[in-house]
Chains A and B, each alone.
Chain A
Amino acid sequence: MTVRSTAEDYTKEKKAGEGTYAVVYLGTKKSTGRSIAVKEIKTSQFKDGLDMSALREVKFLQELRHINVIELIDVFMASDNLNLVLEFLPADLELIIKDTSIMFSPADIKSWILMTLRGVHHCHRNFILHRDLKPNNLLLAPDGQLKIADFGLARLMGSPQEVLTSNVVTRWYRAPELLFAAKHYTSAVDIWSVGVIFAELMLRIPYLPGKDDVDQINVTFRALGTPTDKEWQEVSSFSNYNKIQIYPPPSREELRRRFIAATENALDLIDGMMIMNPANRWDTVRCLQSPYFQELPEATLPQDLPKLNK
């Protein structure tokens, strides 16, 4: 079917940024007036052709449709360039956390974590691991809805024998199995990241800020205790286990002191999301069914959530 040009239907009003594999423009879809972001994929400049991140982004966003996952509106080729049209999302959770002029309540935190978990649950039930969850990748729509973005590191859950790279997830949000360079891991890596984000929202500073990969191991286990074979069978067989220092796990009292404003149910949830042994770590269903989401205060409605001042 021949229709009016797609490229002409989208205005590119402003260059929003230039990433490693794409130039992002902000604009409007003329026919609907909807704000959009056009990602023009750079194809020729790369030594290895079409970038893996671009490929993954199309691959996963094409099939995922959920209110808490960024929408891929269009894919088109214009003048031999690949263009991805995404919904325009003006803010992200990192900006909100860092903006000290913004006050937010426990109900607001609950709302953001709830939306994150719903989005992650949708990814996981479609067998997709995001592998780069962090506040910077949780974008906020003008109506307050939180949307998971940047599927450049995502991949399908492999067969059990498939070897996966452990060099994923931004350092501070990396699960212990990744710190141990595990070759096989599950959707539990994403849950850990959500747990760290939850803590960061409560503390308003990064929870486990390792300076480098070695320091990250130390920071993580100092804060949460070093896992042992008792709770995580054969954890000591990871090659770098012997080099790490053994720390005791924090007591409940210590956690209460750490997260002063958190309720017991909130502490249970964060505890469940950050269980060292990935096999015992809570999955999205268990997290979403946590009493934390049933107790008061109710999660703030998305439209009532704090917004960036600028």
Chain B
Amino acid sequence: MSNQSDLVLSRPYLTKAQLQRCQKYSIPDRRAYNQKRLLVFKYLGQLCVQLKLPRKVLEATMYFYHRYHAFNKFETEMCYDVGTSCLFLSCKQVETFKRIGEVCSTALKVRNVPRVTPDILDAFKKRVIQMELRVLETCSFDYRINNEVHIDEFIIKIGRELSFSYDCCRLAWLIAFDVLKLELLITVPSHTIALAVLKLACELLDEIKWPNVRYNLFETDAPSFNEAYFDILNFYINVFDACDLKDHDAVRDLNLKIETFIEIKKNAGLEYGLTVNPIALDKDDYVSKERNFGVKERRYVLKKDSLLEESVSKKRSISDVS
């Protein structure tokens, strides 16, 4: 085993089916995971407020958090550490660096950990730092994601392009906060999410008709857009109580209820999104095989060409697992 290396092609986004296949190994109890995910999100949100971090940090954090649990076992007692580590890393990623001491002491305060001794703090810092590389590995060290433009910024850019009102963009921005709780973050890119929340905002405000958008102009496509749009709608329909939108002062006049979203969905046409051929899914080692920790060396490439080059470069390949 020692003379082998796992060559991994970065795949920053996974369809729902692919994600579920990954989680078959990493998340044994889906319900517990979902409950904890919301709690961790709340905790991370509070941490961002305390540390005065912008929303993009929370977005990057949740991306890392979802990615981590797609490839690493979910453990209830570890999830706050994972969340903190993702946040610490996100601060570096989006250039809003915070010292580990500040992040960890604030984190312990937010979690109301009683009697924090220097030893407890040090042990916590160590755990957070140790997890950093693990988190980056689940993203294949792919820095193209969560790098510069985030959902909130895309809302402004696209909203301006489509000449939407300030109110519409603001509502989309509020909806986008709820989206950060969803695994949608690792399913479609931020600009597609921004487009979907803008559509939903338009429909909720009922003041402007959603224009006939040519998706390719926004570097996306109909299946990706619909994946995002229906996923967000389903979130409001299925777990309305868990949403933050309903409690916001700015939307009080809209009198939002589950029925509002059911009605929108009724008029939205056939629900569809990104699909994967089940046979292809079975053959896809990336999602269908548990990570082999026997391979001590793991290598990451961003382009398919590099992977192909590697497999063609004769004699180098020992065995192609797939």
Interface residues of A (CB under 8 A from B): 1-9, 31, 43-44, 46-50, 52, 55, 58-60, 62-63, 74-80, 82, 127, 155-156, 158-159
In the assembled complex, the Cα of A78 lies from the Cα of B5 at a distance in Å of: 9
The reply on B300 being an interface residue by CB < 8 A is: yes
Beyond A5-B2, A5-B5, 20 additional contacts (C-beta under 8 Å) are A2-B4, A2-B6, A2-B295, A3-B311, A4-B4, A5-B3, A7-B5, A7-B297, A9-B316, A31-B316, A48-B100, A48-B129, A50-B92, A55-B92, A55-B93, A58-B141, A62-B302, A63-B143, A77-B297, A80-B133
Q: A2-B295, A3-B4, A52-B97 are in contact. Are A156 and B148 (CB under 8 A)?
A: yes
In the assembled complex, the Cα of A2 lies from the Cα of B322 at a distance in Å of: 9
CB–CB A82/B133 < 8 A: yes
The reply on B299 being an interface residue by CB < 8 A is: yes
The B interface, classified by DSSP as helix, strand, loop or mixed, is mixed
| Bitwise interface map of B from 1 to 38 toward A, beta carbon under 8 Å scored 1, else 0 | 01111110000000000000000000000000000000
Chain B residues within 8 Å of A1, by CB: 6-7, 307, 310-311, 317, 320-322
A153 → chain B closest CB, angstroms: 11
In the assembled complex, the Cα of A47 lies from the Cα of B311 at a distance in Å of: 39
CB–CB A43/B311 < 8 A: no
A to B contact number (C-beta, < 8 Å): 112
The reply on B48 being an interface residue by CB < 8 A is: no
B17 → chain A closest CB, angstroms: 22
Q: A52-B97, A75-B141 are in contact. Are A5 and B4 (CB under 8 A)?
A: yes
Q: Of the candidates A5, A9, A49, A63, which one forms a contact with B100 in the assembled complex, judged by CB atoms under 8 Å apart?
A: A49
CB–CB A59/B147 < 8 A: yes
The reply on B132 being an interface residue by CB < 8 A is: yes
Q: Of the candidates B7, B95, B136, which one forms a contact with A2 in the assembled complex, judged by CB atoms under 8 Å apart?
A: B7
In the assembled complex, the Cα of A76 lies from the Cα of B306 at a distance in Å of: 14
In the assembled complex, the Cα of A82 lies from the Cα of B153 at a distance in Å of: 32
A206 → chain B closest CB, angstroms: 30
The reply on B115 being an interface residue by CB < 8 A is: no
The reply on B248 being an interface residue by CB < 8 A is: no
| Bitwise interface map of B from 278 to 302 toward A, beta carbon under 8 Å scored 1, else 0 | 0000000000000000011111101
In the assembled complex, the Cα of A44 lies from the Cα of B127 at a distance in Å of: 11
CB–CB B92/A76 < 8 A: no
Q: How many residues of B contact A (CB 8 A)?
A: 46
A59 → chain B closest CB, angstroms: 4
CB–CB B143/A59 < 8 A: yes
14 pairs of residues in contact across A and B, judged by CB atoms under 8 Å: A1-B6, A1-B310, A2-B5, A2-B6, A2-B320, A2-B321, A3-B311, A3-B316, A5-B4, A49-B129, A50-B92, A62-B142, A76-B298, A78-B296
B7 → chain A closest CB, angstroms: 5
In the assembled complex, the Cα of A9 lies from the Cα of B313 at a distance in Å of: 13
The listed residue with most B CB atoms (<10 A of its CB), out of A7, A46, A77, A79, is A77
The reply on B123 being an interface residue by CB < 8 A is: no
In the assembled complex, the Cα of A50 lies from the Cα of B100 at a distance in Å of: 11
CB–CB A77/B4 < 8 A: no
The reply on B252 being an interface residue by CB < 8 A is: no
Chain A residues within 8 Å of B295, by CB: 2
The reply on B81 being an interface residue by CB < 8 A is: no
Chain A residues within 8 Å of B296, by CB: 78-79
In the assembled complex, the Cα of A47 lies from the Cα of B99 at a distance in Å of: 9
The reply on B117 being an interface residue by CB < 8 A is: no
| Bitwise interface map of B from 167 to 189 toward A, beta carbon under 8 Å scored 1, else 0 | 00000000000000000000000
